[in-house]
């Protein structure tokens, strides 16, 4: 009897565990729709057609002399030295944001302008975001 009970418990346990895993898989699949943000370089943004609803990350260098501030409305150009994309942002820029350095922004395209909702800060000024470094390498700009 005791062994039968143990076996039954084990089967029940496995059934519940499988249920949870299915539930998790379902949630993950569902969450991937909203939660995944693709990374694109300016060149990719120019060459692909991107839905205005798609939230993604753009990364590259902040083009020199392109940063304009009007109150908390900020605009600048992000470049991978082959192509440029204009970025608009409302808010406060991170401390380490400056012209000529790497940056990553999250947002979506409105026409030809990228409207950023968030601009990522880095803790270390020498640090180049990996995606940005790779994107620049593809364009032959950045060398290690």
**Which of 120, 139, 141, 142 forms a contact with another protein (CB under 8 A)?**
120
> Phi/psi of residue 108, each to 5°?
-140, 165
Provide the mask over 70-89, with x wherever binding to another protein is found by CB under 8 A and - wherever it is not. -xx-----------------
Q: Is 67 in the site for another protein (CB under 8 A)?
A: no
Q: Cα 91 from chain centroid?
A: 18
Residue 7 sits at the vertex; the CA angle it makes with 4 and 12, to the nearest 5 degrees, is 125
Residue 63 near residue 78 (C-beta atoms within 8 A): yes
CA–CA distance, 116 with 120 (Å, rounded to integer): 10
Q: In the complex, what is the shortest distance from the CB of residue 95 to another protein, in angstroms, rounded to a whole number?
A: 4
In the complex, least distance from residue 127 CB atom to another protein, rounded to whole angstroms = 5
Q: Does 11 bind another protein (CB under 8 A)?
A: no
Judged by CB under 8 A, the stretch of 46-54, 76-84, 108-116, 130-138 that binds another protein is 130-138
């Amino acid at each position: 009897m005791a062994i039968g009970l143990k076996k039954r418990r084990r089967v029940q346990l496995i059934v519940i565990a499988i249920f949870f895993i299915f539930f998790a898989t379902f949630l993950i699949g569902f969450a991937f729709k909203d939660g995944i943000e693709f990374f694109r370089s300016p060149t990719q943004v120019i060459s692909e057609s991107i839905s205005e609803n798609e939230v993604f990350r753009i990364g590259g260098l902040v083009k020199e002399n392109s940063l304009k501030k009007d109150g908390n409305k900020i605009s600048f150009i992000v470049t991978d030295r082959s192509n440029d994309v204009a970025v608009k942002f409302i808010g406060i820029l991170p401390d380490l944001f400056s012209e000529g350095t790497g940056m990553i922004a999250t947002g979506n395209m409105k026409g030809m302008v990228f409207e950023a909702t968030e601009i990522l800060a880095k803790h270390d000024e020498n640090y180049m975001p990996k995606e940005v470094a790779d994107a620049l390498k593809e364009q032959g700009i950045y060398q290690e």
